[in-house]
A = this chain, B = another copy of it.
Amino acid sequence: MAAVSALDGLIHALRRLPGVGVKTASRMAYHMLQHDREGAQLLSQALHEAVGQVRHCELCHTFTIPSICDTCLDDSRDNARLCVVETPADQSAIERTAAFKGLYFVLMGRISPLDGFGPKDIGLEKLIDRASDGVVQEVILATNFTAEGEATAHVLTEALKKRGVQVTRLARGVPVGSELEYVDLGTIAHAMVDRRNA
């Protein structure tokens, strides 16, 4: 019935969002229809526009509307250093630190055999081309320090070193502001191994 299907269709469509099950989707649908129809209309339009306009940067693979993103076009950045991150969110976290002025390569994922993501899905070939262009002198791997992020870093390291590219990895260690008593043992062990001269 049409009566049921527009509401059910919305609930069904909301479930395509990551982390949204049928109860959350129902709650969202009821809320939007009852209290925020303007927001629903806005979201409808924003989705439509983003799908139509947003694509991947030809150089760094991040989301962009022109064919090359603003960061890659920025002349003031150090193009000898290339930082590899999993997602645009990770890139934006690094940008907020203001500790890095080089360029990025965004994998848009990580190697994860269980989810069916292999080296092709993270644009390994594209990264190798970019890193071997003669301008890039150092590739800094800033994938997450999770099992999958570490595995991805390992695969990238092997592939890049084979082509003579200098590869570094973000330092592992005790987070700033933390007390040793509450830091997990794996982190302390790594911090011990990677200790540096004071």
Residues of chain B within 8 A (CB-CB) of A49 are 6, 9-10
The contact of A53 among B2, B12, B14, by CB within 8 Å, is B2
**Taking A6-B65, A19-B24 as contacts, is the C-beta distance between A40 and B51 under 8 angstroms?**
yes
Does A174 interact with chain B (Cβ within 8 Å)? no
> From A24, which residue of chain B is reached at the shortest CB distance?
B19
- The residues of B that contact A132 with a CB separation of less than 8 Å are none
**How far apart are the CA atoms of A31 and B157 in the complex, in Å?**
26
**What's the minimum C-beta distance from A93 to chain B, rounded to whole angstroms?**
11
Shortest distance between the CB of A58 and any CB in chain B (Å): 13
Taking CB as reference atom, which chain B residue is nearest A46?
B13
Given A41-B51, A66-B3: A46 and B9 within 8 A (CB)? yes
The distance in angstroms between the C-alpha atoms of A40 and B15, with both chains bound, is 11
B89 touching A27 by the CB < 8 A rule?
Answer: yes
Q: How far is the CA of A4 from the CA of B53 in the complex (A)?
A: 10
Tell whether, in the assembled complex, residue A13 and residue B42 are in contact, meaning their CB atoms are under 8 Å apart.
yes
How does the 8 Å CB contact mask read for A60-82 relative to B, with 1 for contact and 0 for none?
00011110011000000000000
Knowing that A6-B53, A7-B63 are A-B contacts, what are 12 other residue pairs whose CB atoms are under 8 Å apart, sorted by A's residue number? Answer: A6-B46, A6-B49, A9-B46, A10-B46, A13-B43, A13-B47, A17-B31, A29-B50, A32-B50, A41-B51, A43-B43, A44-B51
Could you pull out 17 A-B pairs where Cβ atoms are within 8 angstroms? Answer: A1-B70, A3-B65, A3-B66, A4-B70, A6-B54, A10-B46, A10-B49, A16-B43, A17-B31, A19-B28, A30-B89, A32-B51, A33-B50, A33-B51, A41-B51, A43-B47, A44-B47
Interface residues of A (CB under 8 A from B): 1-4, 6-7, 9-10, 12-14, 16-19, 23-24, 26-34, 36-37, 39-51, 53-54, 63-66, 69-70, 87-89, 108-109
